């Protein structure tokens, strides 16, 4: 693709990656499909396929980059011999609906072909600030006792990962986790617009993420910043307030006029805000009926107005869609629910699936580092998060289970610092099917894997410690039962109508709750009655497509 303006900085993706050396450390912005410089990553991957170089690379990703489908992101570089090491704040592990395959990078990790490390996104973001400041490293109390703690693996995801990238240290009598800094040679970032000097603006992007931080860190290391943009405009044609990153920090500009905004979305202006809320809410998709929808509906009952609430991936991010369907969230009330995600979009409606991370019709957007400053400060009082496993010791796991290696993402920082926690998920997984008949929940087919296990396979957060030591309130919500997390274990507080406690709750757990509440309640009958009506009227399908 030819640029309309030719200067020393505007070049093809192939030219931009041509001088990346074997053994270099490269970094890239990207949040799933959002702000992923996919054209540049593809060019680097193709160069290795064609020539065998560069090889032995270290790849640093503050957040998992790409969807491994149409926006391949990190998967462009998942070639044996190309990557020596990857350090990432999260990994992408979907099944491609067209091929039935999981990402190639996940195979390299499963087969121990590379050194793989998983850091919490809070650390992966804040570490960049320390690289930019040329400090010795990032010091934090967040994550102690979890899988990132050296006593529990230090974030190593493969046997090849031998180096201790995280250390436990004592400072003024207190124990902390310490992430030493190291050099980054090249950064790939993405924006909307550049001029011939490389001044960047993000007017078409729903997130900024770590873009500016990556540029500062790499330039502090004497490295090279490559920016992918949709267009180039004349220098001086934009107001300075529109340009967050000056061109002195950019070495190369690559134009991709076809860059996708996010998965399955070339561009959607509603993700940029500034639109009337009524029509926006009216266009939101209606979730098909499934167990996840029951979870999201019940979890929505925990939300409060005028409380900064952070929603994670999965059933928790479905909550606003269910709230919109029931009318709890409408053009008048939406401003009273202060929703955000770990990636810095504020207001509007948090989206789910591959559009998760950004909000429809947001009112403000913070960069990634500032968002985790806010999270670690405890300013998000309420958090709704997913769970893959919950064990008898009060440990929740979302970071590594079965053949999946997603990492923690922002989970650890969010869970450790919120005041009220809700963990959302189905009771079992792997083929679970449910239906509602006459206002009663029926388990058509039980899931193959239990989620309430004797011992979690990975420690993402110790919930009972948070309840005991920091007076957190924690609740687990499933489609058939609700539990309160107390300092000594789980208390069963609610059960769905139609569910048998013994055979469909207790017998499906590897451990028993410490107690069943004497005032055990039924989950809201209106929830189940409404679904029965919608299905009967043909307004809702019974299962997700």
Cβ pair 377, 338 in contact under 8 A: no
Cα(441)–Cα(474) distance, integer angstroms? 25
Q: Using H for helix, E for strand and C for coil, what is the string for 157-208?
A: CCCCCCCCCCEEEEECCEEEEEEECCCCCEEEEECCEEECCCCEECCCCCCC
The predicted model gives 204-231 an average pLDDT of 98
**Residues with catalytic function:** 342
Contacts of 504 (CB under 8 A, 6+ apart): 443, 480
The predicted model gives 80-101 an average pLDDT of 91
**CA 385-340-322 angle, 5° bins:** 65
- pLDDT at 151 > cutoff 80: yes
pLDDT tens column, 475-506? 999 999 999 999 999 999 999 999 999 999 99
Domain 272-427+451-524 bears CATH identifier 3.40.1080.10: yes
% of the chain at pLDDT higher than 70: 96
pLDDT-derived band at 1 (thresholds 50, 70, 90) equals very low
| Token pair of 477 as six digits | 């919500």
> What is the model's pLDDT at position 6?
44
Domain at 10-255, CATH from 3.40.1080.10, 3.40.50.300, 3.20.20.80, 2.60.120.10 = 3.40.1080.10
pLDDT tens column, 452-464? 999 999 999 999 9
Where do the structural domains in the chain lie, given as residue ranges?
10-255, 272-427+451-524
> Of all helices (H) and strands (E), which one includes residue 278?
helix 277-282
The predicted model gives 314-335 an average pLDDT of 91
SS3 517: strand
> What is the model's pLDDT at position 96?
85
- pLDDT at 3 > cutoff 70: no
> What is the model's pLDDT at position 534?
55
- pLDDT at 542 > cutoff 50: no
Cα(68)–Cα(66) distance, integer angstroms? 6
| Token pair of 237 as six digits | 């044609």
> What is the model's pLDDT at position 524?
86
- Enter the pTM of the model: 0.94
> What is the model's pLDDT at position 74?
97
> What is the model's pLDDT at position 492?
98
- pLDDT at 411 > cutoff 80: yes
pLDDT-derived band at 179 (thresholds 50, 70, 90) equals very high
> What is the model's pLDDT at position 530?
66
> What is the model's pLDDT at position 345?
97
> What is the model's pLDDT at position 503?
98
Same fold, 10-255 and 272-427+451-524: yes
pLDDT-derived band at 531 (thresholds 50, 70, 90) equals low
pLDDT-derived band at 73 (thresholds 50, 70, 90) equals very high
> What is the model's pLDDT at position 350?
95
The Cα-based distances of 30 to 136, 334, 398, 545 in angstroms read 26, 28, 21, 28
53 or 2, higher pLDDT: 53
- Between 184-188, 253-257, 356-360, 436-440, the lowest mean confidence (pLDDT) is in 436-440
Q: Using H for helix, E for strand and C for coil, what is the string for 431-479?
A: CCEEEEECCEEEEEECCCEECEECCCCCCCEEHHHHHHHHCCEEEEECC
> What is the model's pLDDT at position 545?
28
pLDDT-derived band at 7 (thresholds 50, 70, 90) equals low
- Between 232-241, 415-424, 429-438, 484-493, the lowest mean confidence (pLDDT) is in 429-438
Cα(179)–Cα(62) distance, integer angstroms? 14
């Amino acid at each position: 693709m030819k640029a309309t303006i030719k200067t020393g900085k505007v070049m093809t993706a192939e030219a931009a990656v041509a001088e990346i050396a074997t053994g270099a450390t490269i970094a890239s912005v990207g949040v799933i499909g959002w702000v992923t410089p996919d054209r540049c990553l593809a060019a680097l991957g193709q160069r290795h396929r064609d020539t065998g170089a560069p090889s032995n690379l270290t790849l640093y990703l503050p957040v998992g980059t790409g969807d491994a489908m149409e926006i391949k992101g990190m998967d462009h570089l998942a070639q044996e011999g190309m990557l020596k090491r990857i350090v990432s704040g999260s990994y992408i592990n979907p099944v491609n609906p067209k091929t039935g395959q999981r990402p190639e990078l996940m195979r390299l990790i499963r087969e121990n072909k590379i050194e793989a490390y998983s850091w919490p996104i809070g650390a992966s973001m804040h570490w960049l600030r320390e690289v930019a400041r040329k400090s010795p490293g990032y010091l934090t109390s967040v994550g102690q006792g979890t899988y990132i703690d050296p006593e529990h693996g230090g974030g190593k995801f493969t046997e090849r990962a031998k180096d201790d990238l995280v250390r436990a240290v004592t400072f003024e009598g207190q124990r902390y986790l310490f992430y030493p800094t190291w050099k980054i040679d090249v950064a790939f970032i993405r924006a909307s617009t550049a001029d011939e000097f490389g001044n960047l603006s993000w007017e078409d992007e729903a997130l900024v993420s770590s873009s500016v931080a990556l540029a500062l860190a790499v330039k502090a290391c004497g490295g090279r910043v490559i920016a992918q943009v949709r267009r180039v405009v004349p220098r001086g044609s934009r107001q300075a307030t529109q340009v967050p990153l000056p061109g002195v920090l950019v070495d190369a500009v690559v134009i991709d006029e076809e860059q996708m905004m996010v998965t399955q979305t070339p561009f959607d202006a509603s993700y940029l805000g500034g639109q009337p809320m009524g029509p926006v809410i009216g266009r939101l998709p209606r979730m098909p009926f499934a167990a996840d929808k029951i979870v999201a509906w019940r979890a929505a009952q925990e939300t409060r107005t005028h409380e900064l609430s952070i929603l994670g991936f999965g059933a928790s991010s479905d909550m606003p869609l269910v709230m919109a369907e029931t009318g709890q969230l409408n053009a008048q009330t939406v401003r009273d629910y202060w929703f955000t995600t770990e990636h810095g979009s504020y207001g509007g409606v948090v989206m789910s699936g591959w559009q998760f991370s950004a909000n429809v019709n947001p009112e403000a957007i913070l960069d990634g580092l500032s968002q985790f400053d806010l999270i670690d400060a405890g300013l998000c009082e309420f958090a709704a998060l997913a769970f893959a496993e919950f064990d008898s010791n009060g440990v929740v796991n979302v970071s590594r289970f079965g053949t999946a290696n997603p990492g923690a993402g922002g989970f650890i920082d969010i869970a450790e610092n919120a005041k009220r926690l809700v963990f959302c998920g189905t009771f079992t997984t792997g083929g679970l099917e449910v239906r509602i008949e006459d206002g009663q929940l029926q388990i058509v087919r039980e899931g193959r894997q239990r989620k309430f296990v004797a011992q979690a396979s990975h420690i993402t957060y110790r919930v009972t410690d948070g309840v005991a030591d920091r007076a957190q309130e924690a609740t687990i919500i499933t489609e058939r039962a609700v539990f309160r997390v107390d300092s000594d274990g789980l208390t069963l507080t609610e059960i769905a109508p139609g569910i048998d406690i013994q055979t469909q709750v207790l017998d499906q757990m590897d451990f028993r709750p410490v107690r069943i509440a004497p005032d055990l309640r039924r989950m809201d009958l209106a929830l189940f009655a409404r679904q029965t009506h919608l299905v009967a009227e043909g307004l809702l399908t019974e299962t997700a497509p």
